[in-house]
Amino acid sequence: MSAAIVWFRRDLRLADNPALDAAIASGKKLLLVYIHAPTEHAPWAPGAAQMSWLHHSLERLHQSLQSRGQRLCFFNGASAETLKRLISEAGAQAIFWNRCYEPALVQRDQALKTELKALGVEVNSFNGALLHEPWEIKTGSGTPYRVFSPYWRKCRERLVLKTSPPLPQMLPPAPEVSGAVALEELHLKPALNWDRGFYSANRQPGEAGASAALVRFIDLGLASYKEGRDRPGLKSTSMLSSALHFGEISVQALAQRLFDYAHEHAVPGLLTQVEHLVRELGWRDFSYHLLYHYPHTPSANLNAQFDAFPWAWGPPDVLERWQRGQTGIPIVDAGMRELWQTGFMHNRVRMIVASFLTKNLNIHWQAGARWFWDTLTDADLANNTQGWQWAAGSGADAQPYFRIFNPVSQGERFDPEGHYVRRFVPELDALPNKTLHSPWIAPRASRTQYPEPLVDLKESRAQALSRYAELRGR
* DSSP per-residue string spanning 372-434: HHHH-TT--HHHHHHHHHHHHT-STTPPPTT----HHHHHHHHSTT-HHHHHH-GGGTTS-HH
> 53, 322, 365, 390: which one is catalytic?
365
> 59, 115, 136, 280: which one is catalytic?
280
> 124, 127, 303, 347: which one is catalytic?
347
Among residues 460, 462, 441, which one has the least CA distance to residue 450?
A: 441
State the pairing for strand pair 29-36/92-98. Answer: unpaired
Is-contact 217 240, C-beta < 8 A?
yes
Question: Any catalytic annotation for residue 264?
Answer: no
* DSSP per-residue string spanning 157-185: HH-----PPPPPSSPPPPPP-S--B-GGG
Is-contact 10 245, C-beta < 8 A?
yes
- The Cα–Cα gap between 282 and 274 comes to 12
Question: Any catalytic annotation for residue 347?
Answer: yes
- The Cα–Cα gap between 440 and 428 comes to 11
Among residues 121, 102, 7, 93, which one has the least CA distance to residue 113?
A: 121
> 59, 283, 412, 440: which one is catalytic?
283
Name the DSSP class of 69. T
Question: Any catalytic annotation for residue 194?
Answer: no
Rg over alpha carbons for the chain, rounded to the nearest Å, is: 23
159 exposure class (CB count in 10 Å sphere: 0-12, 13-18, 19+): middle
Question: Any catalytic annotation for residue 390?
Answer: no
> 44, 340, 388, 390: which one is catalytic?
388
State the pairing for strand pair 73-76/122-126. Answer: unpaired
In degrees rounded to 5, what are phi and psi of residue 30?
-120, 125
Question: Any catalytic annotation for residue 280?
Answer: yes
- The Cα–Cα gap between 371 and 366 comes to 9
In degrees rounded to 5, what are phi and psi of residue 119?
-85, 0
> 7, 53, 97, 311: which one is catalytic?
311
* DSSP per-residue string spanning 131-161: SS-TTT---TTS----SHHHHHHHHHHH---
Question: Any catalytic annotation for residue 283?
Answer: yes
SS3 string, 265-316, reads HCCCCHHHHHHHHHHHHHHHHHHHHHHHHCCCCCCCCCCHHHHHCCCECCCH
Name the DSSP class of 203. B
Catalytically active residues, by annotation: 280, 283, 311, 347, 365, 388
